[in-house]
Amino acid sequence: MVLIFCWLQIIKFLILLAVFRGVSILKKLLTYASLLFATGLHSATALAQDFDTCVVALKEKALAAGVSQATVESSLGKVKYVARVIELDKKQPEFSQTFDNYFSKRVTDWRVKEGRRLLKEHGTLLNKLKQEYGIPPQYLVAFWGLETNFGSYKGKMPVIDSLTTLACDPRRSDYFTGELIQALKLKEAYQFDNEQMQGSWAGAMGHTQFMPSAYAKYAVDADGDGKADLFNSTQDALSSAANFLNQLGWARNERWGREVLLPKGYDFRHLGRNDKQSLTTWAELGLTQVSGKALSTPDMQAALYLPAGHSGPAFLGYDNFDVIMRWNRSEFYAIAVGHLADRINGAAPLHITPPKHDNISRAKLKLLQEKLNEKGFDVGKPDGVLGVNSRAGLQAFQRSVGLVADGFPSDDTFSALGIK
C-alpha cells in the first residue's frame, strides 16, 4: 500500500508538470511512470517471495536447533519483514560525530543526578554485586544510564521481526540467524510473548541491551522468580550486567582510567590503544592526575587517548577501559561510561571541557585517507572512518610537516594536505 501511495503521488506530480509542458509529454511521462510502477511492484513481490522462502528455511533451522514446533509457529508463523531495520543496518552517517557532541549528550547533569539517586536506591543490591562479581556500583549504574537511560527506553522494535529480517539479509545472515535462534530459545524458556520482546533494531533487549546470545550466556535470575527477566526486573538486569563485566575480565579494585594532564611540549609519540605504557613510564613522560598529583599504581599498563585532539581533554585508559570496549567497541563510549561512573560516585566534571568541533563528512575523511596514501603514509583502504591505522598514518604525516602530531584531523592538517 505504501508503494502504491508513493507512485500515485509521483504520477500526480507528473500530471501537474505536463499541464505546463503539453499533452504529448504527458503521454510519455505516464508511460515512463507506468514502467517504473510495474518494476517497483515486481521488486516488492520478489522481495516478499524471497523473505517467505527464507522464513521457511529459518523454521527448519530453529527446529533442528531444538526449538519446539509451537514456539517456531507462534513466532515465525506471523513474522513480518521490517524494511526500516535494513535501512538502519545499512545506514552510514554522512558526518563523523565529534567527541564534544557525543559526550555532552551522554554525560548530562540530569543523568549524573539520577544516577546518584539510583546508586542510593539500589545500594544494598549494588554492594552485594560488588562483593560477588567485583564490579563497583557506580559502573553498573553508568552502563544502565547509557544503554537505556536507566530503563526508561529499552527499544520498541519487535525483536523476532527484526532478527528475522536481518537473518534473511545476505550480508550477516549467519550471525543474525544464530541470534534469532537464541531469541526463540529465550522466548520458550521464559515464556516471553512477542509483544514483550521488544528492543533495538538489531535485536538488543532489556535494561542493559543484551543481544540474545549474551542474554542466554550471561543473564542471571537474581530475584529468584524462575527466569532471568532483563525486560522487567532491575535486580536481574543489574546482576546480569555485573556477571557480564566479570566474565569479560573486569579487574577488581581498579579504575577504568582517568583524565590526565599532559606536560607542555609533549610530542605524542605514545598515543592510542595499541601503544600501552606502564604508569611509571607515563609519569616519567610528565603526565599527572588533573589535580597535579602523581599517577598511582606504577606497574599498571595504560594507553593515552585524545578524543578531541591535543586541545581537548586527555585520558589514560587502564585494563578496565578495554573491558568496557568489549561491551561496546567505541572509545567515546568507554570514556563516557568511565567518566559518568566517576561523576555518579561524586567526582567533578572534566578538568578540560571538550572543545567544539564541526562535524567532518565521511567523504572528506576518505579524501584525507587517499591523500595520506598518495604521500606514502599507508592507512589502508580509504573508507571515511579514522581507525587505528589511519590515525597512525595521520600522526606520521603531521610530524613530517611540523604540525602537532596528535592524529586528529584538524583544519591545519586538511590545509597541509591541500584539502579545503
Q: DSSP letter string over 22-69?
A: -HHHHHHHHHHHHHHHHHHHHHHHHHHHHHHHHHHHHHHHHHHTT--H
For residues 236-247, average pLDDT: 99
pLDDT for 3: 46
Least trusted range by pLDDT, from 23-27, 40-44, 91-95: 40-44
Residue 25: pLDDT band by 50, 70, 90 thresholds? Answer: low
Residues 79/164, Cβ–Cβ less than 8 Å: yes
Measured between alpha carbons, how far is 143 from 248 in angstroms, rounded to an integer? Answer: 14
Cα(171)–Cα(179) distance, rounded to whole angstroms? 15
| CB 183, CB 197: distance < 8 Å | yes
Residue-level pLDDT at 298 = 77
Sheet holding 257-261, edge to edge: 277-278, 301-305, 314-317, 257-261, 288-289
pLDDT at 41: 45
Are the C-beta atoms of 186 and 212 separated by less than 8 Å? yes
Mean pLDDT of 367-372: 98
Which pLDDT does position 12 carry in this prediction?
54
Residue 49: per-residue pLDDT: 75
pLDDT at 5 over 50: no
Which residues are identified as catalytic?
A: 147
pLDDT value for 297: 78
Write down the pLDDT at residue 37: 52
pLDDT above 60 for 412: yes
Mean pLDDT of all residues in 360-388: 96
The tens digit of pLDDT for each residue in 56-115 reads 999 999 999 999 999 999 999 999 999 999 999 988 777 788 999 999 999 999 999 999
Cβ burial, residue 108 (10 Å; 0-12/13-18/19+): middle
pLDDT surpassing 70 at residue 33? no
Phi-psi region of 209 (alpha: psi -120 to 50; beta: other; left: phi over 0): left
Residue 30: is its pLDDT beyond 80?
no
The owner of cell 527466569 is 227
Phi-psi region of 416 (alpha: psi -120 to 50; beta: other; left: phi over 0): alpha
**For residue 204, what are the contacts with CB-CB under 8 A and spacing of at least 6?**
155, 210, 211
Q: Which of 359, 350, 332, 356 is nearest to 146 (CA)?
A: 332
Give the three-state DSSP class for 272.
coil
Task: Map grid coordinates 536481574 to a residue.
Answer: 236
Cβ neighbourhood burial of 402 (10 Å; 0-12, 13-18, 19+) = exposed
Q: Are 86 and 100 in contact (CB under 8 A)?
A: no
* Residue 1 pLDDT grade (very low, low, confident, very high; cuts 50, 70, 90): very low
Q: Could you read off the pLDDT of 179-229 as tens digits, one per residue?
A: 999 999 999 999 999 889 999 999 999 999 999 999 999 999 999 999 999
| Percentage of the residues of the chain whose pLDDT score is greater than 70 | 88
Cα 80 to Cα 309: distance, rounded to the nearest angstrom: 45
The helix or strand, by DSSP H or E, that contains position 139, with its residue range, turns out to be helix 137-148
Q: Give the mean pLDDT of 343-367.
A: 97
- CA–CA dist 54, 208 (Å, integer): 30
CB 216 within 8 A of CB 183: no
Instruction: Tell me: pLDDT of 399 over 80.
Output: yes
Percent of the chain exceeding pLDDT 90 equals 84
pLDDT band of residue 4 (cuts 50, 70, 90) is: very low
Single out the residue of 169, 184, 151 nearest to residue 69, CA to CA. Answer: 184
Domains present along the chain, CATH in parentheses? 97-153+232-358 (1.10.530.10), 360-416 (no CATH)
Under 8 Å CB-to-CB from 173, ≥6 apart: which residues? 166, 167
Rounded mean pLDDT of the chain?
91
**In the predicted model, what is the mean pLDDT of residues 13-26?**
51
Q: pLDDT at residue 385 above 70?
A: yes
Please report, to the nearest 10 degrees, the dihedral formed by the alpha carbons of residues 147, 148, 151, 157 taken in order. -120
Q: How many CB atoms lie within 10 A of CB 61?
A: 15
Average pLDDT over residues 331-357: 98
pLDDT given at position 6:
47
Burial environment of residue 152 by CB neighbours within 10 A (0 to 12, 13 to 18, 19 or more): exposed
CA of 347: how far to CAs of 103, 135, 258, 343, in Å? 16, 18, 11, 5
| Owner of C-alpha cell 598515543 | 271
Kindly state the average pLDDT of the residues 236-255: 98
Q: What is the pLDDT of residue 24?
A: 57
